[in-house]
A and B are shown apart, each in its own frame.
Chain A
Amino acid sequence: MDKIKVEICVGTTCFILGASELQELERFLPEGLRDKVDITGATCLGMCKDDNYGQAPFVRVGNRIVSNASISSVIEQIEEQLKHR
C-alpha cells in the first residue's frame, strides 16, 4: 500500500503560526502510523493567500488540506484517511 504523503508548509506565515512545532510531527506519531506516512516539508503550499482555505499553518495530508493544523489534528486526518482505505 502506498504511503500517505504529509507535506508541512514551512513558508513564512505557516512557520510563525505554528509550523515550527509541526516540524516535530514525526516524533509524535503513534508507532503504528510511522511506516504508513511519508513526511516532507514544502517551501509554500500557497494556501495563506486564499481566504477559502482558513487559517495557517497548513499541512497537506494526501490530497486534503488541514488548516489551522496542530500535531493532533494532522494525526487525526492521517487516521481518518487510513480508515477509508
Chain B
Amino acid sequence: MISNDTYVEIEYYQKTKTGEDVCGDDFKTVSLEDESRYIAVLSDGLGSGIKASLLANMTTAMALKFATRDMEILQSSEIIMDSLPVCEVRKISYATFSIVDILASGKVRITEMDNPEFIHLRGHEEIHHEKLKQVSSNWPDRELQLSNFEVMPEDRIIFFSDGVSQAGLGNKPHKFGWKREGCLEYALQCINNQPQISARTLSRAIVTQACGMNPQCRCIDDITCAVVYFRKPRRLRLLTGPPFKKDNDSEYANYVVNFEGRTIICGGTTAQILARELNREIKTHLFMRNNGLPPTSEMEGVSMITEGILTLTEVARCMENTVPQQEMAPAVKDMINMFMESDVIEFIVGTKVNEAHQDPSLPVDLEIRRNIIKKIKNLLETLYRKKVFMKYI
C-alpha cells in the first residue's frame, strides 16, 4: 500500500547503438490523473536503427493505448503482434515489450514479452514474484508473463532492454554479457552508496555502466533502462512577485519558513520584501557572469535567488526548446536542474505588477509574470510529469 504522501517517480535513460541515428528501443509513459494511475511501456524493436525504432514506437504506442483503456492483455498483444510490419530480411515482425501498470493503491501489474525480467527491490532486498504465463494460439512462441503484486513506499522497479543484460557480451570479464544479475548487483551497490538515489540518477547510472562494459565504451546494441521509485516527494517552492496587497507581505514570508524542501526566490523586489520580513541579509554575486542575465544572490535558508522576469522567461524558453545544458546561463541551468530533481513544485505568485516593466520605451518586451509561470507550470506537467501547484497572493 502506498500512501498519499508517496510520489511515483518514473524515469528512463537510453543510449543508441553506436553508428545509428535513432534508438531502436522506445519508452513511453502516461499518468492518468483522475484515476491516479501510471502506465509505462518499454519496447525493443527487432534489429537496430530506423526499422527497429518504428517497430518499438508502434508497440509502445499501441500498448499504452490498450492498457489505458483496460483492454484484455492477450487480445492487446495479439493486435500488436499482428500489426507490426514484417522485416524484409528476417521475414518476421517482432518487438518485445514490458508494460508496467501502477495504481495509486499500490497495486502493480506487469506484463512482459521477451524483455529481460524486471527487478523489484525493497531496500536492499530483491522481491521475487510468481508469474502467470499466457500464450496466444496465433503466436505460440511468444509467451506473456504476468505479475501482480503490491508495492510499499521506497520500493523500486527496474526494467530494461537486452542492451543492458547483454552488455559486454563476448568480451572479458562478461563473456556472456552483464546479465540481469550483474545489473541487479550494480543497482544494489548504487542504492547502498546513496539510499535515496532518484529514478533519474539510477537509470542513468545503469545505462552508463552497461555501456562501459563494451570495448571502447561503444554501444553494441541500443541500451534502455527505466526505473520506478515510490518515493517521499522532493518538494520545491518558488516564490515570485510582490503580493498584491502589502498587508500580505508577512503571510508571504511564512511560505519560506517552516517548509520542508528547497526554496527559490525570483525577483529583486520579492527578495527585498522577504529579506525585510525575515530579517535576513541578501548578498548579490555582482561579479558573477550569467550569460547576459542579471546576477544571482543568496540568503540564509533559501536555495537560490534570481532576478524575476528575464530569468523566468529564459527558463521557459530553454525548457520549451530543450536547449542543451552547456548553452544555458548558469542561473537558468541551476533552476531547471532543481525542477528536475523535485517531484512536487509549488509556485507562490505575487500578482502586483511593476508598472515600470510596462513602459513602452523599454528596449525589450517584458512578459507578465503570471503568464510565464503558467507556461513553466504547463511545461513541467506535460514534459516532465511533475506535480505542480500554483497559488496567487
Total A-B residue contacts, Cβ distance less than 8 Å:
78
Residue ID in chain B nearest A48 by CB atoms? B356
Tell me what chain B mostly uses at the interface: helix, strand, loop, or mixed: loop
Decide if B286 touches A17 in the complex (CB within 8 Å).
Answer: no
Residue ID in chain A nearest B287 by CB atoms? A23
Residue ID in chain A nearest B306 by CB atoms? A43
Contact partner of A48 (CB less than 8 A), chosen from B305, B354, B363, B364, is B354
Q: How far is the CB of B313 from chain A (nearest CB, A)?
A: 10
Decide if A10 touches B310 in the complex (CB within 8 Å).
Answer: no
Decide if A10 touches B269 in the complex (CB within 8 Å).
Answer: no
- Give complex CA distance A23, B284 in Å: 11
- Give complex CA distance A64, B294 in Å: 23
Q: How far is the CB of B123 from chain A (nearest CB, A)?
A: 44
- Give complex CA distance A23, B69 in Å: 58
Q: How far is the CB of A59 from chain B (nearest CB, A)?
A: 12
Knowing A10-B268, A15-B307, say if A42 contacts B284 (CB, 8 Å): yes
Decide if B308 touches A12 in the complex (CB within 8 Å).
Answer: yes
- Give complex CA distance A82, B310 in Å: 36
20 further A-B pairs in the complex, CB-CB below 8 A; given A9-B268, A43-B269: A8-B286, A10-B268, A10-B295, A11-B294, A12-B267, A12-B307, A12-B310, A12-B366, A13-B359, A16-B363, A16-B364, A19-B294, A23-B295, A41-B285, A41-B295, A41-B297, A44-B271, A46-B269, A49-B354, A56-B356
- What 0/1 pattern do residues 229 to 270 of B give for CB contact below 8 A with A? 000000000000000000000000000000000000001110
| B282 CB-CB contact with A under 8 Å | yes
Cβ–Cβ < 8 Å partners of B267 in chain A: 12, 43-44
| B70 CB-CB contact with A under 8 Å | no
Decide if A44 touches B269 in the complex (CB within 8 Å).
Answer: yes
- Give complex CA distance A10, B268 in Å: 8
Decide if A11 touches B363 in the complex (CB within 8 Å).
Answer: no
A/B interface sample: 8 pairs, CB < 8 A: A12-B267, A13-B354, A13-B362, A16-B363, A19-B294, A43-B297, A46-B272, A49-B355
Knowing A9-B268, A10-B294, say if A16 contacts B286 (CB, 8 Å): no
Contact partner of A12 (CB less than 8 A), chosen from B284, B295, B309, B363, is B309
Q: How far is the CB of B364 from chain A (nearest CB, A)?
A: 5
Decide if B286 touches A40 in the complex (CB within 8 Å).
Answer: yes
Contact surface of B with A, Cβ cutoff 8 Å: 267-269, 271-272, 282-287, 292, 294-295, 297, 305, 307-310, 354-357, 359, 362-364, 366
| A71 CB-CB contact with B under 8 Å | no
Cβ–Cβ < 8 Å partners of B292 in chain A: 20
Decide if A43 touches B363 in the complex (CB within 8 Å).
Answer: no
Q: How far is the CB of B278 from chain A (nearest CB, A)?
A: 14
Residue ID in chain A nearest B271 by CB atoms? A43
Residue ID in chain B nearest A24 by CB atoms? B287
- What 0/1 pattern do residues 1 to 35 of A give for CB contact below 8 A with B? 00000001111110111011001001000000000
Residue ID in chain A nearest B359 by CB atoms? A13
Decide if B271 touches A16 in the complex (CB within 8 Å).
Answer: no
Q: How far is the CB of A36 from chain B (nearest CB, A)?
A: 18
Cβ–Cβ < 8 Å partners of B294 in chain A: 10-12, 15, 19-20
Contact partner of A11 (CB less than 8 A), chosen from B269, B362, B364, is B269
- Give complex CA distance A43, B282 in Å: 8
Knowing A43-B297, A43-B305, say if A12 contacts B268 (CB, 8 Å): yes
Decide if A12 touches B354 in the complex (CB within 8 Å).
Answer: yes
Knowing A16-B310, A43-B284, A43-B305, say if A11 contacts B268 (CB, 8 Å): yes
Cβ–Cβ < 8 Å partners of B307 in chain A: 10-12, 15, 43
- Give complex CA distance A44, B294 in Å: 11
Residue ID in chain B nearest A7 by CB atoms? B284
Among B308, B356, B363, residue most surrounded by chain A Cβ atoms (within 10 Å) = B356
